[in-house]
């Protein structure tokens, strides 16, 4: 007998094919999606508007994957971090970030358990790769946070563990479900995917019909520095990356964000700022300066930190040279829930 599959790993089209194969009318797809993505059903036999015979057939071939909460931590600033276990036993982290006025709720979800890219400044990169997540496992992270906060999710960022473009199809399926009316109905423009800069992924992403937002971790516009910081993308030349981003802007008319974490003595001097300005000139983009978040509790981190007045200086310098930018202060640092701090550990 074949092993059962997680029904939540199927995309809309695959569900349509499945219903067709089982001789069911099309409206069953909507009913099924409502059970899975709006009503959080965890047991197929409970889908009581589906014929009993269909429920039995589905039960035979599928299970409904669910996330098991391992720990939940609450930061002083209201940010919450969740550690989940997925059905295969791997663990992933998700962060819920409420705006200070309580109007918005942003969820940062993971696309892989761990990450194979090995960026030197990132806790996830240091921990290595475990597995890809299914679309259902990504969707459910966001759904769980909405229920925990008892509020609508207004913004989603795929900036947790993992490199989303190494798991492209499942990520897009998850985003579509978040965007869908038979899902959470989150506006596409409020859904952002962050990549370390995989060219094929950027090209494909520019062809998607939805207006999802793209962010790229740049961190250095000098090749040698970027290769050292981000060894997993050392085969991607900055010139090609710039080309791909320019095409993205021209095709979509949308402005990608470039993430840049200044690191002391590595990418924060005038030469690197000049290179960043040249990289951005003549292209739609917005630079997000992310003050580096500590990933160990040792002195190694302290030596890498750039003082906040230097970050402010970089921001003013970019501004003066016509490069739009902002400084993004991470939330949830006290619970290791900020950018780059996610890993699979339980003890904190």
Q: Of 71, 78, 74, 81, nearest to 338 (Cα)?
A: 81
Q: Which residue has the tokens 């995917």?
A: 193
> Least distance in Å: CB of 119 to ligand SF4?
3
> Least distance in Å: CB of 218 to ligand SF4?
11
Backbone angles phi, psi at 343, to 5 degrees: -150, -175
Pick the closer one to ligand SF4 by CB: 162 or 337: 162
Pick from 18, 295, 314, 323 the residue near ligand SAH by CB under 6 A: 295
Residue span binding ligand SF4 (CB under 6 A) among the ranges 34-42, 114-122, 178-186, 297-305: 114-122
Residue 275 CA, chain-centre distance (Å), reads 27
Considering only CA atoms, give the Rg of the chain.
Answer: 21
**Residue numbers 139-178 binding ligand SAH by CB under 6 A:** 159, 163
Active-site annotation holds for 158: no
Encoded one letter per residue, x for contact with ligand SAH by CB under 6 A and - for no contact, window 95-124 reads: --------------------x-----xx--
Is 285 a binding residue for ligand SF4 by CB under 6 A? The answer is: no
Pick from 58, 119, 172, 258 the residue near ligand SF4 by CB under 6 A: 119
Pick the closer one to ligand SF4 by CB: 173 or 341: 341
Cα 311 to Cα 261, 302, 329, 339, distances in angstroms: 9, 15, 11, 17
Contact 63, 10 (CB under 8 A): no
Cα–Cα–Cα angle for 113, 114, 115, rounded to 5 degrees: 120
Half-sphere exposure of 108 (CA within 13 A, CB side): 24
Is 258 a binding residue for ligand SF4 by CB under 6 A? The answer is: no
Active-site choice (33, 93, 163, 259)? 93
Pick from 217, 252, 325, 344 the residue near ligand SAH by CB under 6 A: 217
Encoded one letter per residue, x for contact with ligand SF4 by CB under 6 A and - for no contact, window 157-176 reads: -----xx-------------
Contact 310, 92 (CB under 8 A): no
Pick the closer one to ligand SAH by CB: 161 or 173: 161
95 class by beta-carbon count within 10 Å (0-12 exposed, 13-18 middle, 19+ buried): buried
Token reading at 36: 């899975």
11 Cβ contact partners less than 8 Å away, ≥ 6 residues apart: 135, 169, 173, 176
Active-site annotation holds for 108: no
Residue span binding ligand SAH (CB under 6 A) among the ranges 49-57, 77-85, 133-141, 191-199: 191-199
Pick from 6, 33, 137, 259 the residue near ligand SAH by CB under 6 A: 259
Beta-sheet pairing, 286-289 with 257-260 = parallel
Strand partners, 194: 215
Catalytic residue positions, numbered: 93, 339
Binding site for ligand SAH (CB under 6 A): 115, 121-122, 159, 163, 194-196, 217, 259, 261, 290, 292-293, 295, 339-340
Binding site for ligand SF4 (CB under 6 A): 115, 117-119, 122, 124-125, 162-163, 196, 217
């Amino acid at each position: 007998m074949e092993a059962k599959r997680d029904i939540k790993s199927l995309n809309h089209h695959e569900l349509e094919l499945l219903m067709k194969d089982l001789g069911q009318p099309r409206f069953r797809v909507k009913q099924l999606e409502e059970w899975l993505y709006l009503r959080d059903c965890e047991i197929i036999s409970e889908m009581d508007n589906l014929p009993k015979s269909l429920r039995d057939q589905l039960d035979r071939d599928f299970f409904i994957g669910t996330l098991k909460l391992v720990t939940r931590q609450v930061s002083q600033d209201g940010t919450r971090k969740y550690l989940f276990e997925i059905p295969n036993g791997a663990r992933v982290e998700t962060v819920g970030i409420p705006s200070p006025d309580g109007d918005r709720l942003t969820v940062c979800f993971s696309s892989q358990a761990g990450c194979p890219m090995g960026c030197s400044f990132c806790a996830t990169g240091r921990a290595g790769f475990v597995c890809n997540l299914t679309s259902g496992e990504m969707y459910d992270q966001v759904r769980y946070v909405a229920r925990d906060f008892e509020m609508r999710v207004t913004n989603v960022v795929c900036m947790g563990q993992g490199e989303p473009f190494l798991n492209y199809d499942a990520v897009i399926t998850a985003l579509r479900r978040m965007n869908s009316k038979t899902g959470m109905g989150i506006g596409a423009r409020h859904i952002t995917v962050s990549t370390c800069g995989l060219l094929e992924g950027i090209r494909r992403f520019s062809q998607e019909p939805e207006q999802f937002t793209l962010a790229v971790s740049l961190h250095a516009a000098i090749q040698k520095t970027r290769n050292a910081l981000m060894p997993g993308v050392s085969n991607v030349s900055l010139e090609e990356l710039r080309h791909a981003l320019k095409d993205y802007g021209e095709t979509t008319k949308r402005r990608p964000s470039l993430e840049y974490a200044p690191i002391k003595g590595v990418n924060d001097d005038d030469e690197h700022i000049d290179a960043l300005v040249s990289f951005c000139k003549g292209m739609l983009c917005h630079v997000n300066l992310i003050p580096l978040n500590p990933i160990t509790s040792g002195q190694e981190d302290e030596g890498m930190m750039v003082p906040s007045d230097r970050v402010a200086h970089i921001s003013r310098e970019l501004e003066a040279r016509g490069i739009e930018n902002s400084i993004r202060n991470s939330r949830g640092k006290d619970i290791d829930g900020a950018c780059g701090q996610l890993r699979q550990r339980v003890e904190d």
